[in-house]
Amino acid sequence: MSKKSIRLIVEIVAVMLAIVIFGVPFYFVLVNSFKTQSESAELSISWPKELHIIENYKKVLETQNGIVIRAFYNSTIITAISIVLLILICSMAGFVMQRRSSRASSFIDFMVLAGLMIPPAIVPTIWVLQGLRLFKTLPGIILIEAALNFPFCTMLYRQFMATIPREIDESAIIDGASGLKLFFNIVFPLLQPVTATITVTSAVGIFNDFVNPLYFLPGAKNATVQLTLYNFMGQFLTSWNLLFADVVLIIIPPLILFIFFNKQIVGGMTAGSLKA
């Protein structure tokens, strides 16, 4: 058997595994969101006897005076502002860490890596937010999301920055460019691939975050999309059809991002590894 045939077989097997691992669960959720409450309680992958698409999704959007719509608004605001903060702060931090070497560089690198390894402390964080009067507020959860994603995004920017020649910096400085002008006018536009990667990966993570809003943003008015799943789950009864319909609505925005920015994600993640 030739190498070409073996490669073709491996690709077919990989595609089939991807369909089973990702396609079947999505089909299961989608099909059950079309069923009645009694049919969906069976949790089967069979096609419903009668479709209830408009009825189910309308109920989801109208539950508790449109809490799902309000949750989408809150999650979008949290995600958008957090991403802007991450791009601005992490790109500048990565630039400084990559370009400047000092005695404190190793310590700074260690602190950034520690942020990836050490889990956040819930109770002390709540105390800090209460002291700043940011507990149960959108600005508070935005700062939390930005802080938790800061180490990963900074390391990505720093790694990508290594592929940009230092001669560009030196030429700009010789031409009289200041530090801010050098970064924002010359370096930052070159960071577009890794910026797209950070935008998509971080946006999906923040948009789908369940734990942090649960701890730091409690309250019905502050609901985010993941917390709306509780509205269709009870101690004695769960409306599986509405629950799955809500899941489908939550999946749509991240799915669209991955479909349109798939190449940018891969390019941004691997670009930094090309430089020895």
Q: What CATH number did the domain enclosing 153 receive? A: 1.10.3720.10
Domain that holds residue 85: 66-226+259-274
Q: How confident is the model at residue 271 (pLDDT cuts 50, 70, 90)?
A: low
Residue 101 placed within a domain: yes
Residue 169 placed within a domain: yes
Residue 232 placed within a domain: no
Q: How many domains does the structure of the chain reveal?
A: 1
Residue 204 placed within a domain: yes
Q: What is the mean pLDDT of residues 224-231?
A: 88
Percent of the residues in the chain that have a pLDDT greater than 90, as a whole number: 42
Single pTM value for the model: 0.85
Name the average pLDDT for the chain.
87
Task: Pick the closest to residue 36 from 245, 229, 252 (CA basis).
Answer: 245
- Rounded to an integer, what distance in angstroms lies between the CA atom of residue 202 and that of residue 22? 21
Residue 196 placed within a domain: yes
- Structure confidence at residue 121 (pLDDT): 86
Residue 121 placed within a domain: yes
- Structure confidence at residue 28 (pLDDT): 93
Q: How confident is the model at residue 149 (pLDDT cuts 50, 70, 90)?
A: very high
Q: Who has greater pLDDT, 173 or 265?
A: 173
Interior/surface letters 212-238, b for 16+ CB within 10 angstroms, e for the rest: bbebbbeeeebbbbbbbbebbeeeeee
Q: Report whether pLDDT(244) > 90.
A: yes
Q: Report whether pLDDT(157) > 70.
A: yes
Instruction: Confirm if 213 and 222 have CB atoms less than 8 A apart.
Output: yes
Residue 165 placed within a domain: yes
Residue 191 placed within a domain: yes
Q: Which two tokens stand for residue 157?
A: 């920017």
Q: How confident is the model at residue 138 (pLDDT cuts 50, 70, 90)?
A: very high
